[in-house]
Every structure is written in structure tokens, then in C-alpha cells.
Amino acid sequence: MSASSLKALLIVVLYTLALTLVLRMSLDATLELKLIDKYWFRDYIGNLVVSLICLGLTQSALRAVILTTVIVVLLQLSNALKLVVLGTPLSPDDFINVKNLFILWDGYLFWAVVAASILPLLILIALTRWRRRLTWATFALLAFCIPVGVLYSAELKTTLDKKFGNSVWNQPENFRRRGLGLHIVQETARTLSKVGKTPSATAVNNVSIDTTYAKPEIPANQMRNVHMVVLESFFDPNSLGKEWVPEDPLPADFTDLWDSTNRSTIMAPVFGGYTANAEFESLCGFPVTENAVFFEGWLRKRVPCLPQVLSSLGYESIASHPNVAGFWNRTLAYNLVGFDQYWSKAEFDTSDAMGNFVLDHSFYDQVFNKIEKEKKAPIFNYMLTIHGHLPYPANDNYPNKVKSGKESALLKGYLNHVYYKSRDLMAMLKTLRSNDPDALIVIFGDHLPYLGKNYDVYTDIGKMMPDRDDFTDEMFRYLSTTPLIIIDGKRGPLQTGNLPLYRLPSLILSLLDAPSRSMFDWTSNPTDKLIRPIYGMHFYVENDEAVACRPDNLAKGACTETNKWLDDIKTLSADIFTGKQFSLKKSSADVFE
């Protein structure tokens, strides 16, 4: 190695060290990531691998420093922001789903995402010394290492887990102990090791759950419309207390309606985002157990979910959502679960909006106008709202009506979104119940809203802790709980209590008097227990008391029993939605009629 090459190497090594330390200190101080000091070297090694690759491609200390800075800062900042918003670090799925960011944001945020995605590639192309042998040797080394890593992903995962550990339920802690580079490699190996490994017929037959199937039936003269409304980021903000929410943003008629259900709730699979997972559960009757968007990588087969079941009975199943059609892979996912039609953003007038989010009253009016023109009945009318989405923008057409008790721009914005959302909902319900008095109406919030970094606001009132590892059992239940309102036609609002969201399709078929043994019945919880999986763990509620079951405390309470049930459910889920559907083929009934 020449003296100039050695000098360039030394500069890159020392610069990467400085960059690593500066990023760790600044991100930890500004975003409160709670990094563990003794593991800084692992973070450094991950960044150093990136910088050495950059040096191999550019053969210049200055060029390598520029390219390294862009890539490392972008990755570290993206990871930090995801941690404080959703409570989890970057994962392999985020690189697959990055296209959704282009769809979600507009204005300067859209261009920021474009720049963050394209800039590293442009700089890489510009700074790479394409005519140097070392450049192509570096590409050759990458071309060798990546396929080998894919081919031996299971062995790599096992080795890394043994050396650096793995907590299946606490991904933030995994990141803090590994550093970002190692964390991404380790979790990528884990994901790749699962590819193509679906349950065998023997594994499916060995589950202790009765998987018999009988097609639901409803007499033609007893079919009535079903309207399901999924409310974006909707929960009861009054649970934050008077200090934060001194004025109730919910109208009295909503409170009266919810009170008439005895304040029934659902337990959602997600917090602050990943709405598609709440959708999946409400439509397909199985819990999401992975830290991933189920619509994106796990739903690969045509499945007898609620839209398909109702369509087979003579319903017209229609999904509506005023967002770009392909967001969270909804175009394909809605088709696989059985919707006959999907009305996305292109089918709506989006002028009545806050930021990029169509107001609910406009959305509702347009949906019902379309249904009236279609004149198809009975219908399964599935409406997913978008108003209420982060970052809770405001405009002059819809001035703020509610103030937060303490200074929080996000909470103030959210409270005013809830103010308008709840009133739009009640106005729609008044008209709907008058025009369609026999309809079954189902309304729920998809997840709690994000109100600040590291569960800010929630931590102030003791409902959550900044670190998931410090959560009490009851905190996991609060993290998952949103309002549920079911209006059973002329019988009125129902008192359903606390319901895991994936149990909703089974309840809907029961309320429609559709006797069957559908796959929704397969997820019936063990007697007197309500089970809510959250990635890497689960909790159950018994006698209105939550019990958290982590992999390291399965001897606690009934965790062994509920974990066995969950293992069987995971087997069936992988078989039905990704695998060869042995469980559905066991039945003599044609589930896809």
C-alpha cells in the first residue's frame, strides 16, 4: 500500500470515528435515544464498513468522507426518527416500503424524501472512480458477500444472535446494543432466513385448534348492509387528563353514543402508525404478530377474509380510502381479501382537505353518493378515513377550536383534528341511521396517535414509559386501546367490552346471523382470556387485568397456555396468508365460492 493510500485510509478511519461519536451524542441529546455508551464501538464498526466501501469505490479520502457522511447521516437520522415516532428502529421492511413515503407526504416533505432517496445514489455515481481496478474489485467483493449472506442467512442469524443477543420483543434495546449497521445486518439475516419457509401439512395438522370450515349462510330476505368505518389515529384524548386536555374536543352526542356501549374498546396491533395492520386484523380475523406491514410482505394468497365471505353471500364489497391506491400495497391486498371495488384518491375530489388529508365529511359524502349511483345492495361498505393523520396540519378554513393544557404543537394539532373528525362522524351517523336503519355499523380507531418523541405526553401522565423495557403490564393495554362502537340496526349500540381487533370479523358474522364455522372462529381466545399479540410478545386480559407475557417470563400467570395458543395461530396464519393453505384445504367446503 502506497503512502498516499495509507494516509487516505487513516483519514477515513479517524473521520468515521469522529462522525460516529458526534452523531451518537447529538441524536441522543436531541431525541433522547437512550444509547448505551459501552456499545459505541459496535456502532463505529458498522459505520466504518460503510466508509471503507466508499473508500474502495472512490479511492480518495475527501470523496470517501463526503459519500460516507451522506449515507451514514441519512441512515442514522432515519433510524432515530423512526425510533421516536413508532418506537422501533429501522428494519429490512423499511427499505422495501420506502416508496410509501413518496405517497404520504407533499410539499417540502415530499421533496425532502426525494432528496434523501436520490441524493446518495447521485453522489455515489458522481464520486465513484469507474475506471479503477480497485473500484471493480470492491464491487466484486460486494457481489460475493451479499449472495453468500443470502444463501447462508439462517447460519448468519444464529451466529450473530449467539454473539450479540436478540430480544424478540424489544427491538429498540437490540439496536442500542448492536449499533445501526450490525442491527440492520442481523435483522436482514433474520428476515431472509424465513423466506420460503412456510408450514408443512404436518405442522398444520398438529395445531390444537379445530380448523373445520363451513360456509356462512344468510337468507336473502335477512341480508342487511354493513358499514365499517376505520378512524385514523382516533382515541379518547380525555384519557390524557385535564392538565393536558382541559377542554373536551369530543361532542356530547359522541360521548353519549360511546357511553351507551359502556365505552367498548378494541385492542389494536399497532401504535402511532402501520394502519394497514389494523385493517388486516379487522378484515381477516387473524392477529399480526410480526414487526412488519402485513399487507406488504405477508399477504400473498387469495384468502376468505370478510369481504370475500360477504361477497360470496351476495354482498357488494367496496373499500374506500382517499389516499394513493398503492399505499401499503392496498391495491393488491384489497383484491386478495375479496373486495369487489376499491375507490382510492383518484376517485375523490380532494379539495376539501387539511394539508394532504381529505376531511371526513367530504369523504363520507362522496362515498355515499357513489354508493347511491351504483344502487347495489346489500353492500359491505368499508371506509378508511385519512383526516387525523400525522402531522395534524391546520388551515384557515378549519381554525383551531381547542387548546391543549400544556405546550405541545402535536397535541394541539391532534385535538383539533379530533374536534372536526368526531363531529363529521356524528353528522354522518345521523343521516346513515335515518336512511339505513337496519344496517350494521362498526366504528373503531386504528391506533393511538403519535404525540411526541419517545411516547411524549403519554409519559408525562404515567400511561407509558420512554423505554418499552420499563412498561408495566397495564401500559401495554393502554398502548393498544381505542374506542369501538357497534350499532346493530334498530337494536342500537352494543356493549361488546374490550375486544381484540382480530376478533371483529367473527363478531360481525354472528351479528348478521350467519351460522358457520369460518376461519375467523379459529382465533377464538382461550376461555376467559383476551389475547393481544404485540411484536415479539403478547399480553392477555383476564378479569379486567392485563398480564404481559414476554419470552423470558412465560411461567407468569397463564402465559404458557396463551403462548401455546399463539404459536398455533402463527402456524395457521403463515399457512393461510403466505403458505400452501393446507388448513383451508382440510375442509370439504369450497371457501372461495
Look at residues 526, 542, 573 and tell me which one is the last residue of a structural domain: 526
Q: How far apart are CA 496 and CA 486, in angstroms?
A: 8
Give the 3-state secondary structure of 139-174: HHHHHHHHHHHHHCHHHHHHHHHHHHCCCCCCHHHH
Residues 184 and 249 reside in one and the same domain:
no
Q: How far apart are CA 430 and CA 253, in angstroms?
A: 10
Q: What are the E-state strand segments in 446-571?
A: 481-488, 498-500, 530-534, 537-542, 545-549
Within a domain: 454 = yes
Q: How far apart are CA 455 and CA 446, in angstroms?
A: 17
Place of cell 384557515: 396
Strands 265-267 and 481-488: antiparallel
| Closest alpha carbon to 522 in 480, 575, 469 | 575
Residue type, 108: Y
Residues 24 and 132 reside in one and the same domain:
yes
pTM of the model: 0.78
User: What pLDDT sits at residue 5?
Assistant: 84
Residue 528 burial (CB < 10 Å; 0-12/13-18/19+)?
exposed
Q: By residue range, what is the domain housing residue 67?
A: 3-194
Look at residues 504, 526, 548 and tell me which one is the last residue of a structural domain: 526
User: What pLDDT sits at residue 326?
Assistant: 78
Q: How far apart are CA 81 and CA 296, in angstroms?
A: 21
DSSP 517: B
| Closest alpha carbon to 59 in 6, 121, 120, 122 | 6
Cell numbers at 465, concatenated: 414509559
Q: Within 13 Å of residue 545, how many CA atoms lie on the same side as its CB?
A: 4
User: What pLDDT sits at residue 464?
Assistant: 87
Q: How many CB atoms lie within 10 A of CB 37?
A: 8
Which alpha helices (DSSP H) does 447-536 contain, by range?
473-480, 504-511
CATH code for the domain in which residue 311 is found: 3.40.720.10
Residues 241 and 173 reside in one and the same domain:
no
User: What pLDDT sits at residue 591?
Assistant: 61
Within a domain: 547 = no
Residues 387 and 450 reside in one and the same domain:
yes
Residues 131 and 246 reside in one and the same domain:
no
Strands 530-534 and 537-542: antiparallel
Residues 185 and 50 reside in one and the same domain:
yes
Q: How far apart are CA 193 and CA 455, in angstroms?
A: 32
User: What pLDDT sits at residue 402?
Assistant: 87
Within a domain: 573 = no
* Helix/strand/coil percentages in the chain, nearest 5: 55, 10, 35
Radius of gyration of the chain (CA): 25
Tens digit of pLDDT per residue, the chain (593 long)? 688 888 989 999 999 999 999 999 999 888 888 888 899 999 999 999 999 999 999 999 999 999 999 999 999 998 888 887 767 788 777 776 666 565 555 666 667 777 777 888 898 899 999 999 999 999 999 899 888 888 888 888 889 988 888 876 677 888 888 999 999 998 888 877 776 678 899 999 999 998 888 878 888 778 899 999 999 999 999 999 999 999 999 999 999 999 999 999 999 998 888 899 999 999 999 999 887 788 877 888 899 999 999 998 889 999 999 988 878 888 888 999 999 999 998 899 999 988 889 999 999 999 999 998 876 679 999 999 999 888 888 888 888 888 888 888 888 999 999 999 999 999 999 999 999 999 999 999 999 998 888 888 888 888 888 888 888 999 999 999 999 999 999 999 999 999 999 999 999 999 998 877 789 999 999 888 999 998 889 999 998 899 999 888 888 989 999 999 999 999 999 999 988 999 888 665 566 55
- Is the Cβ–Cβ distance between 280 and 295 less than 8 Å? yes
Q: How far apart are CA 536 and CA 549, in angstroms?
A: 10
CA 265, 271, 272, 275 torsion: positive or negative?
negative
Within a domain: 562 = no
User: What pLDDT sits at residue 187?
Assistant: 85
Residue type, 10: L
Residue 120 burial (CB < 10 Å; 0-12/13-18/19+)?
middle
Within a domain: 574 = no
User: What pLDDT sits at residue 290?
Assistant: 82
Q: How far apart are CA 54 and CA 41, in angstroms?
A: 20
Q: How far apart are CA 233 and CA 225, in angstroms?
A: 25
Read off φ and ψ for residue 162, nearest 5 degrees. Answer: -70, -40
Cell numbers at 63, concatenated: 470523496
Within a domain: 453 = yes
